[in-house]
Amino acid sequence: MQKKWLAPLVLVVAIASCLVWFFSQSTAVVKEVLITDSGFVPTSLDITVGETVRFVNQSGRDAWPASDSHPSHGIWLDFDPLKSLLDGESWEFTFDRLGSWSYHDHEKSNLTGVINVYSQFGASSSECLERNGGSSNMQDYCWLAEFKSAHAVGGFDLVFAIFKEYQANDEVFQRNCHDVMHLLGKMAYGDYVVNGDVFTQPETSYCSYGFYHGFIEAMLAKTGDHHGGRLYCEQLRDEGEFYNQQLATDAHQACVHGFGHAIFDSLDGSLWGKEDVMVDVGLDVCQSIFSEIKDLAECGTGIWNALAIAYIQNLYEISFSATKTPFWQCERISNLYKPGCYIEMTIQYSHWNKHDQETDWSLMLSQESFAQPLTFEAYVSDAVQWRLPYDYEVIADYGRQCFTIEDREVRFWCMRGIHHGILKKTSPFTNQQESEKVCDLYESEDDHLYCLKALESYRKI
């Protein structure tokens, strides 16, 4: 008797399952983002993982919604229709990765938006990291989704509280903290638009002030208001309620550095492929905004950093040349901008060249002598950051390499690079203890004292 009922029961279950599947498919919600000539509507959209978004072009022109970064779309290469949409056309994309995915209109790159993709139970950076693998860019956006969820509940006070927990306890996060701070700075600009607050919490100084790099880049991308951006940077220095004046000064300089980034990345496409012209135009814009020598040099560092990144990622139709020294741009410009150029080109060329220390060392020693101290400091700082947290013995080996440099000034600044690197990946309030651990590894009393002397010269608070 039971066997007679078994076949019909199986059939009923199968039919019911098909009906459930059919209706779930036929009633699945496809959310829409409209592309208008003035931007995406809505600019921010929250969805659940697996949902589809339809981008509808109502701009009256060609439009091309695609993942950041511009123009490579490299954050998420699949999030890209690979061509422009004509007016009236649409394109759909299914978001199967958790995270907060920023995008832009490739045809009009100042128009930006974000799709926040959550799990069924809310944002989960651990699940996001597991799904999205080891990509550094993906990791950054996983954490950003969690921070956005926290921001909705408790604003930046809660965001910074969570940030400090990750920074203190998560090694992967520590390696990416400067880039995450970039993203938080861009997020903070949204709050600034609403309430006009100047962000001076102690946490904004963590990870070498990436927060202000991102903030000013977002401001200039949205408004193009160079005057307003400069005033904000000055507010940080003159009115910010920081722990001390040095932190306020550093925040101001980080803000000015962000100007250089934003200027270079917004240059007209007709200049692409002509990196010397791109640099000259960018530096001219810096000179139209700032008058103080230190600010001009700092704005220049943003230009050089953006240029060096473009070389590595083959953006803007430029790349490192096989026939030219990586410093050919540095050698042709005024002394004011040379140190920043040598620093940025050295570090990014080292990354591109797979950290071949012997080649890197030889290239630095070939630079103009006045630039070498700062370049060695920056190079060692960057190398140390790749070893954090905390392979102290390998970090100490960089110091031992510094001891072999004949020029006394270059040797000393090389040693300072260890402490600078530790500062960039920690907070200004804890870096001294980590630096002292490295100094303690030197067997020679003279080397130990030399390391501490370099630390003392670098210590700011």
Consecutive H or E run containing 388: none
The DSSP 8-state label assigned to residue 117 in this structure reads E
Q: pLDDT at position 129, please? A: 61
Of 383, 216, 423, the closest CA to residue 299 belongs to 216
Task: Report DSSP letters for 86-98, one per residue.
Answer: PTT-EEEEE--S-
Q: How far is CA 308 from CA 18, 345, 348, 403, in A?
A: 55, 6, 6, 29
The DSSP 8-state label assigned to residue 316 in this structure reads T
Q: How far apart are CA 132 and CA 144, in angstroms?
A: 14
Q: How far apart are CA 366 and CA 383, in angstroms?
A: 19
Cis peptide before 65 (omega within 30 of 0): no
Domains of the chain: 26-122 (2.60.40.420), 367-461 (no CATH)
Most confident of 168-172, 186-190, 278-282: 278-282
Q: What is the pTM of this model?
A: 0.67
Our CA angle for 189, 316, 135, nearest 5°, is 65
**CB 352: neighbour CB atoms within 10 A?**
15
Residue 459 has pLDDT above 70, yes or no: no
Residue 226 has pLDDT above 80, yes or no: yes
Least-confidence region, from 122-131, 139-148, 275-284 = 122-131
Task: Report pLDDT digits (tens) over 339-368.
Answer: 999 999 998 888 887 767 888 899 899 999
Q: How far apart are CA 249 and CA 461, in angstroms?
A: 13
Name the CA dihedral angle for 72, 76, 82, 87, rounded to a multiple of 10 degrees.
Answer: -100
Tell me the percentage of the chain whose pLDDT exceeds 70.
84
Q: What is the CA radius of gyration of the chain?
A: 25
**CB 39: neighbour CB atoms within 10 A?**
17
Q: pLDDT at position 19, please? A: 36
**CB 453: neighbour CB atoms within 10 A?**
14
Residue 174 burial class via C-beta count within 10 angstroms: exposed 0-12, middle 13-18, buried 19 and up: buried
Dihedrals phi, psi of 419, to nearest 5 degrees: -70, -35
User: By three-state DSSP, how is residue 38 classified?
Assistant: coil
C-alpha 17: how far from chain center: 46
Residue 81 has pLDDT above 90, yes or no: yes
Residue 64 has pLDDT above 80, yes or no: yes
